[in-house]
Amino acid sequence: MLPDAIAIYNNVRIPKGGSVHVLTGPIYVEDAEPGDMLEVRILQLDFRVPYGVNNSNKGSGVLPDIHSKPYPKIIKFDLERRVALFAPGIEVPLVPFMGIMAVVPPEGSLPSSRPPGIYGGNLDFNRLTAGATLYLPVHRRGALFYTGDSHAVQGDGEINGTAIEASLTPSCSSSCTRARAGR
């Protein structure tokens, strides 16, 4: 276990209405102003540990009756071959991405990290891998960018409620485009 993950588990309490995602941010983007467009380029995503977790909960996902209790599964990775060792004879190619990428919304604070909105948020869009670019509208000075909810791989959604969740270090770059008249 990573020391920072243990510290978060032991010391962070989820506020009422909050969610379980661990986020990095807010990151202040120099010169970002309301009305601008923030361009976030995903340069690289590095695995911090050679495993991930998938956690089905009773009553969750698209087949809520399939589990009678929570079913957490630790899935080892072969990082050299870039595959998840899901089960004997089943290997899944690793395609890491950040599930949450957001700026602070117009109201001034990031709501629960679960629903997406006009600020980005919990997009869980598996095409936002290394080499991709995401554009987000800037609502507040400095944009105040957040990211988190890192995934090792995910199909076209979280069928049982989670993907193969993993600990990643993202490398991104950003720039702002003036979207307002006269700027």
Who's near 149: CB < 8 A, 6+ residues apart?
A: 21, 22, 23, 98, 99, 100, 113, 122, 124, 165
pLDDT exceeds 90 at position 21? no
The residue-averaged pLDDT of 7-14 equals 85
pLDDT digit string, tens, across residues 72-95 = 899 999 999 999 999 999 999 999
179: pLDDT confidence band, cut at 50, 70 and 90?
low
Q: Rounded to whole angstroms, how far apart are CA atoms 3 and 44?
A: 23
Specify the pLDDT at position 176.
80
Q: CATH classification of 21-49+96-177, choosing from 2.60.120.580, 1.10.3720.10, 1.10.540.10, 3.90.420.10?
A: 2.60.120.580
Place of tokens 């995910």: 154
pLDDT in tens, 159-170: 788 899 999 999
Specify the pLDDT at position 69: 82
> 53: exposed, middle or buried (C-beta count within 10 Å: 0-12, 13-18, 19+)?
middle
Q: Where are the domains of the chain?
A: 21-49+96-177
